Amino acid sequence: MLWLIILLLGVTACVFYRVRRRKLYEIYAQLQVRATCYPVIGHTYLMKNSDGDGTVWFKSLGRLAIENGGVISAWIVNKLYLVVADPDTSEVILKNCMEKGYVTQFIRTMIGNGSIFAAVDIWRPRRKVLAPVFSMKNLNEFVKVFDKQSMIMADLLEPMAGGADFSVWRYFNTYTFDSVCETTLGIDLNSQKNPEHKFLIAFDFVSQELAKRMVSPWMYPEFIYQLMPRYKQFDYHRKVIHDFVDEIIKIKLQQLSTCPKGDNTDINGTEKTFLDMMIQSSDRQEKKYSDLELREELMVIVMAGTDTSAVGASFAAVMLSRHPQVQEKLHHELDDVFGNSDRALTVEDLPNLKYLEAVIKETLRLYPPVPLTAREVTNDVKLPSGITVVNGVSVVLDIWAMHHNPTFWGADTEQFQPERFLEGPLKHPLQFQPFSLPMRNCLGYNYAMMSMKTMLANMLRRYRILPPSHMNERELKEPLKVTFDVMMRHIDNYEVRLEKRIK
Ligand code: HEM
Ligand SMILES: *[C@@H]1O[C@H](CO)[C@@H](O)[C@H](O)[C@H]1NC(C)=O
């Protein structure tokens, strides 16, 4: 009798499983990628990288998606994935699916339940606290910090002018790190001049370690990673970061408890930071943030804000070095706005730097720092094509492919042409989405644009960027060699030369 019950239960479970799987097979049949599906591994072999180029898989799957009308499906072992290269489908997925994929799980070892990779029920209330913190009123105050920090950067670049090939990465990365830390925590780390700061060293280590883990699937499972010798080092640096941020929070909360709040400045007369605003913003919600929640959300801003903008600005510098006419036009714009003056750049200048903005956007189009994002489908969602996707399907939003899709960008999609963004509206309002799309899009897009504009403007007021001397004409016309870990990166590490402008 018992056996019969077990058998019946087993059969029922199997039927349920088959029905669910059948839906997945139906979706697969409608959108299948034109590539052999092998037993067990499915299409996993399409993910392999050739010659250390970590971008091959999302470029080739993206191209296949474009050929198939914008979406394809593929089996990664036993999981069904959609790859989306069409803006309308992307919009529907991003509006209806808020859960992120498994692959990013281990980043939570660094930021805990921090909003950016948190499960939906944790993310939702946190987004409510975080969103108002990024108001334009708040961001406008930060331009002073961007200006100060980028003037320091321009000074530090002086010895490079007229000299040999060098990488802008260190300069741009410490600029963004210093400005993000100052606007978030209210601390001027001065890592541009003092690269030995323990917070910077720990932050660099952790970023590189997470990137390494991202491209090493065998290091994904937590219990395996914790057995590896490198885990000890990771753990050590993580603690340095957490202690540093916790100390700042502690001091801030003490200050706030002993002094009444000012309006736009804190008690030291310094500008309000993300930390101040986050405390205020969470006070307005039902439940105040604990110290841990504050730390997690501050970590999200520092981690989401630093390398992304540094990558974006560095690619822009490389593109300018290879397109002298574009740079010439940009120099004209800067001269129109600033003349010969060395005055500070202010928030009022930013809307006048229209061509610079187009240059940055065109760079983000061709080399999006975050070339893809992912979602899990948890409820039935009807795609524009009429196909309904169901719980259990995973989606890769292929931002890179959308930005290279000739259907929207035309036959010259591979050309660097900032003018695209100045000649009236784009063909499709969503064909450009380097910051993803609501509901869970980047909160820092205005911040990022303002920071990158300020630093590139202050740099280009003083210098001309030239291509590295060892490259010939032909090489300079080719697309940049890039790779991917948690972000897109330039294989030649953003190498350029610099020349002082004579005014
Ligand atoms: C060029 C620079 C940047 C790019 C390309 C970029 C891109 C992105 C992308 C693609 C996402 C994920 C969206 C998704 O999965 O749908 C994201 C999330 C996020 N970014 Fe950025 N970002 C940049 C700079 C910044 C900066 C400077 C900050 C903060 C100062 C920031 C804060 C955030 C936050 C808080 C999230 C999480 C939003 C959420 O999950 O609710 N980002 N960003
Ligand atoms: C995240 O939140 C959940 C639920 O509140 C909790 O169980 C878990 O321990 C938290 N994770 C981390 C890493 O803090």
Q: How far apart are CA 363 and CA 340, in angstroms?
A: 27
Does the CB atom of residue 206 touch ligand 1 within 6 A?
Answer: no
- 150 domain-assigned: yes
Consecutive H or E run containing 495: strand 495-500
Q: How far apart are CA 314 and CA 489, in angstroms?
A: 9
Query: How many structural domains comprise the chain?
Result: 1
Which of 106, 107, 110, 113 has the most ligand 2 atoms within 8 A of CB, as the residue to mutate? 113
- 6 domain-assigned: no
For residue 413, count CB atoms less than 10 angstroms from its CB and return exposed for 0-12, middle for 13-18, buried for 19 or more. middle
Does the CB atom of residue 238 touch ligand 2 within 6 A?
Answer: no
Q: Where are the alpha helices (DSSP H) in 134-219?
A: 136-157, 169-185, 198-214
Strand partners, 388: 382
- Selection from 214, 225, 234 nearest residue 370 by Cα: 214
Cβ neighbors of 410 (< 8 A, separation 6 or more) are none
**Upstream peptide bond of 439 is cis (omega within 30 degrees of 0):** yes
- 132 domain-assigned: yes
> Cα(215) to centroid of ligand 2, in Å?
25
pTM: 0.95
- 13 domain-assigned: no
CA 77 from chain centre, in angstroms, equals 27
Containing structural domain, residue 167: 20-500
Does the CB atom of residue 488 touch ligand 1 within 6 A?
Answer: no
Is the Cα dihedral 254, 257, 260, 263 positive or negative? positive
Longest dimension (CA), the chain: 95
Which of 149, 442, 445 has the most ligand 1 atoms within 8 A of CB, as the residue to mutate? 442
- 15 domain-assigned: no
Per-residue pLDDT of the chain (503 residues; tens, 9 = 90+): 777 776 777 666 666 677 778 999 999 999 988 888 888 888 888 877 666 678 988 999 999 999 999 999 999 888 999 999 999 999 999 999 999 977 677 888 889 999 999 999 999 999 999 999 999 999 999 999 999 999 999 999 999 999 999 999 999 999 999 999 999 999 999 999 998 889 999 999 999 999 888 878 788 889 999 999 999 999 999 999 999 999 999 999 998 888 765 555 554 555 789 999 999 999 988 789 999 999 999 999 999 999 999 999 999 999 999 999 999 999 999 999 999 999 999 999 999 999 999 999 999 999 999 999 999 999 999 999 999 999 999 999 999 999 999 999 999 999 999 999 999 999 999 999 999 999 999 999 999 999 999 999 999 999 999 999 999 999 999 999 999 888 999 999 999 999 999 86
- 138 domain-assigned: yes
CATH of the domain at 327: 1.10.630.10
Ligand 2 atom with the shortest distance to the CA of 118: 1
Q: How far apart are CA 6 and CA 93, in angstroms?
A: 40
- 243 domain-assigned: yes
- 361 domain-assigned: yes
